[in-house]
Amino acid sequence: MLTLQARKSKSLSGSLTLPGDKSISHRSLILGTLARGTTRVKGLLEGADVMSTASALRQLGGQISREEDGTWRVDGIGLNAFAEPAEPLDLGNSGTGARLLMGAVAGSGITAIFTGDASLSVRPMARVTNPLVEMGATCTARDGTYLPLTMSGLASPMAIDYASPHASAQVKSAILLAGLTARGQTRVIEPAASRDHTETMLRHFGVPVESETLDDGRLSITLNGEVDLNAADIVVPSDPSSAAFLAVAALITEGSSLTLKGIGTNPLRFGLFETLMEMGGDISLTNTRVEGGETVADIDIRHSALKGVSVPASRAASMIDEYPILSVAAAFAEGETVMQGVGELRVKETDRIALMEDGLKRAGVEVSSTPDSMTVTGRGDGTVNGGVTVDANHDHRIAMSFLVLGLASADTMTVKGAETIATSFPDFTPLMRQAGATIDEA
Ligand code: S3P
């Protein structure tokens, strides 16, 4: 087990290039495999989660390799070409890998067993398997919803019209992937827009996907099945969810001035930065551009005095992975930060509300929560005690959040189980050190 300690640090500075977006990286391997032709992927995130998806795809017959210059090459096998895997597909810690591949398997005439680590094995899968079963797949899961799970797909599943109770890109994407081999129109209606990388990449691969906001504010996404995906090269933007940790580190550490280059600024992923700006964060975007259908910019961040704000539930989907690090920013802000409509945090890699509340309280911060909200009250003088040990509990974002807290708290923060950071951000510690952070192995 890796234990890391973060100490009060001098100002963070410099210009950093961060690793590729995790969501887009998973999708580039999956869609590349389902396409006809060769997809070259530049900037793929080489984190453990994406590597789990790559090995599962290889077990399904995918041809994925890394070239010498770091480009990933995916030789597509086309739709309905999966081989039945002899061994279970072990998706490790990756909810995205597991759920998206369940959709792809549901739309092909094979059977596969899905397994994962201790954290993934207690995350609910019925939200994905229920609609896939409506499409004709057969699924048996432990207690009806947990891994290990066996999924048998159909070469020609039924197209469905599905109103999802969750604003979840994983649910939406699984249904759209199964819909690729269905006859007719598959439609997903989301209560609020979740990240749209699957839709953007399908269009990039030549598949028409319609997105429409309904009169009641819900979002409808449709595609017609029995279409081919045509391979197209992909440049993966840097991950805004990883940038979030450096951005908050710079905001709370005195004298800091950081530039983060080539960060994805898709509005459906950018809620944290919007919130930090409302809190008074000195954040500006330069060099804004579009790459492969995704917007990208360089982001300049300077140390700032922050004020608490109320974050509306309507923003939750656009920053769902960023609430742990927002709660760290809130701990250093003046007054109350209220995070509404965040119940989904309870079924991520861990119950993120419970873990943040516990660690922050022990570090001297006032926190309260309900099943669906969390409130953090900063002391107002920009200080936090720190000085406690936190177990990451297989959750990379919990580990990184408490290390960032340690950079500006009075006493050292210790994080056990920090090896989990490698699932999404293998270079976190070297990049933080490069910027000036004091993070050491215990
Ligand atoms: C992801 C979707 C989100 C997010 C996860 C990645 C994706 O999950 O939390 O880290 O790549 O589709 P949900 O779809 O369950 O909200």
Residue-wise pLDDT tens digits, 185-216: 999 999 999 999 999 999 999 999 999 999 99
The residue whose CA has the least distance to atom 11 of ligand 1 is 23
Of 120, 166, 195, 348, the residue with max ligand 1 atoms within 8 A of its CB, to mutate for a pocket test, comes to: 195
Could you tell me if 365 and 375 are in contact, meaning their C-beta atoms sit under 8 angstroms apart? no
Per-chain mean pLDDT for the chain: 98
What does the pLDDT read at residue 167? 96
Domain coordinates in residue numbering, the chain = 3-20+237-441, 22-235
What does the pLDDT read at residue 177? 99
Condensed to tens digits (0 to 9), the pLDDT of residues 310-332 reads 999 999 999 999 999 999 999 99
State in Å: Cα 169 to ligand 1 middle: 6
Could you tell me if 74 and 29 are in contact, meaning their C-beta atoms sit under 8 angstroms apart? yes
What is the biggest distance separating any 2 CA atoms in the chain, rounded to whole angstroms? Answer: 61
Confirm whether 21 is a catalytic residue. no
Of 91, 93, 101, 170, the residue with max ligand 1 atoms within 8 A of its CB, to mutate for a pocket test, comes to: 170
Ligand 1 atom index nearest CA of 167 = 16
Is the pLDDT assigned to residue 5 strictly greater than 90? yes
The residue whose CA has the least distance to atom 9 of ligand 1 is 321
| CA separation for the pair 5, 111 (Å, rounded) | 45
CATH classification number, 3-20+237-441, choose in 3.40.109.10, 1.10.10.10, 3.65.10.10, 3.30.465.10: 3.65.10.10
State in Å: Cα 380 to ligand 1 middle: 33
The residue whose CA has the least distance to atom 16 of ligand 1 is 168
Condensed to tens digits (0 to 9), the pLDDT of residues 373-411 reads 999 999 888 899 999 999 999 999 999 999 999 999 999
In the set 321, 358, 372, 395, the catalytic residue is 321
Tokens representing 231 are 């391979």
Domains 3-20+237-441 and 22-235 share a fold: yes
Of 52, 190, 320, 347, the residue with max ligand 1 atoms within 8 A of its CB, to mutate for a pocket test, comes to: 320
The residue whose CA has the least distance to atom 15 of ligand 1 is 168
Q: Which CATH architecture has domain 22-235?
A: Alpha-beta prism (3.65)
State in Å: Cα 358 to ligand 1 middle: 24
pTM of the predicted structure, to 2 decimals: 0.98
Ligand 1 atom index nearest CA of 198 = 12
Closest CA to 105 of 120, 88, 127, 119: 88
Say whether the peptide bond before residue 148 is cis (omega within 30 degrees of 0). yes
State in Å: Cα 196 to ligand 1 middle: 11
| Ligand 1 cavity residues, CB under 6 Å | 23, 96, 168-170, 173, 194-195, 320-321, 344
Closest CA to 374 of 434, 303, 326, 305: 326
Ligand 1 atom index nearest CA of 171 = 14
Condensed to tens digits (0 to 9), the pLDDT of residues 153-184 reads 999 999 999 999 999 999 999 999 999 999 99
Ligand 1 atom index nearest CA of 173 = 12
Condensed to tens digits (0 to 9), the pLDDT of residues 90-135 reads 999 999 999 999 999 999 999 999 999 999 999 999 999 999 999 9
